[in-house]
Amino acid sequence: MAERRVVWLSWLIGSVGVIVFVLFLAIILRAFLAFDFFPFRPDSQPDRAAAAYFQEKFLRYAAQSVGQPIEGYDASVLMTAFPGLRPEDFEGVETVEGTYKIQDGNVTFVRKETQYVTAAEDAITDKGFETLRQNAARRLELTENDRATTNELLRSLVGSKNLMESNRISEPFRVGETKPLGDGTLTVNALVEDSRCPIDVTCEQAGTVRVRVTFTNNPDSTTTVVEYGTTVPLKGGDLTLEEIEPNELRTTDIVPPETYEFTFSFIGMGIK
């Protein structure tokens, strides 16, 4: 009898130990996910950066286009502000009190049974805006999480060919040139810096390119420095230095500043 008790106690202690160990591993795993220790985690830093950038620009344009609803933005308001949006982009988009679903090709709000009815029931949440971004990006095949692709996604959602053509600069600038930009003009004044690492050596830092520009929107004029891959807010929109020629250098290259070519994008859609 005593031996059976010993065996039983040993089994019980072993079982409790296994359970405690499994719980401990679960806690550790949760902590790793919460603090981004896994680089392959779906909700990675680049994803969140792209989501934050998209939502900030998206809501800024929506407010200037259709105003700022007190309750927040619902699907119908956003489809008015962004003609490039399609009903399927709202599939699974979370709202304050439910979710959007597509039924017979139309956007339908489905309420959570446990929620009380409020005026903001179908207003999209932060999580919902990220789902909306991902849905639209997949449909338009613009799934890279870099700023240039996000800008292209925003232009596509605005959906107006005239607005996109009048604000995105497709021709390259050289130092000293002035060209139309949105409701004004942009002048490239000078190449301030080109510290990019030559392709035939190894560098600790990648370096960057910076350009001094002047944006004129009568009667206002703003002179600022734009860094490659970054966005500068201007009156009427946001300016991004997208491309540089030459796009790479070697240690033996000597490139005069006046031969550089700079391509910019402008997100503003003609809004002052």
Cα four-point dihedral sign 186, 182, 173, 212: positive
**Average pLDDT of the residues in 17-29:** 68
Indicate whether 92 belongs to any domain.
Answer: yes
Indicate the pLDDT class of residue 129, thresholds 50, 70 and 90. Answer: very high
Higher pLDDT pick, 179 / 63: 179
Domain region containing 200: 168-267
Helix 126-140 vs helix 45-66: crossing angle, to nearest 10 = 100
- Are residue 96 and residue 193 in the same domain, yes or no? no
- Are residue 154 and residue 58 in the same domain, yes or no? yes
Helix (H, G, I), strand (E, B) or coil at 134: helix
Q: Give yes or no for residue 162 having a pLDDT over 60.
A: no
Indicate whether 19 belongs to any domain.
Answer: no
- Are residue 151 and residue 88 in the same domain, yes or no? yes
- Are residue 185 and residue 240 in the same domain, yes or no? yes
Indicate whether 211 belongs to any domain.
Answer: yes
Indicate whether 25 belongs to any domain.
Answer: no
For the chain, what is the largest distance between any 2 Cα atoms, rounded to a whole number of angstroms? 99
- Are residue 200 and residue 257 in the same domain, yes or no? yes
- Are residue 133 and residue 207 in the same domain, yes or no? no
How does pLDDT run across 239-250, given as a tens digit for each residue?
A: 888 889 998 888
Q: Give yes or no for residue 187 having a pLDDT over 80.
A: yes
- Are residue 150 and residue 190 in the same domain, yes or no? no
Higher pLDDT pick, 245 / 14: 245
Sole residue written with tokens 């079982």: 15
**Average pLDDT of the residues in 226-245:** 84
Helix (H, G, I), strand (E, B) or coil at 130: helix
- Are residue 143 and residue 196 in the same domain, yes or no? no
Distance CA 260, CA 18 (A): 66
Q: Give yes or no for residue 140 having a pLDDT over 80.
A: yes
What integer pLDDT is reported at residue 36 of this predicted model? 42
Q: Give yes or no for residue 226 having a pLDDT over 60.
A: yes
Indicate whether 140 belongs to any domain.
Answer: yes
Mean pLDDT of all residues belonging to the chain:
79
pTM for the whole thing? 0.53
- Are residue 115 and residue 189 in the same domain, yes or no? no
* Number of domains comprising the chain: 2
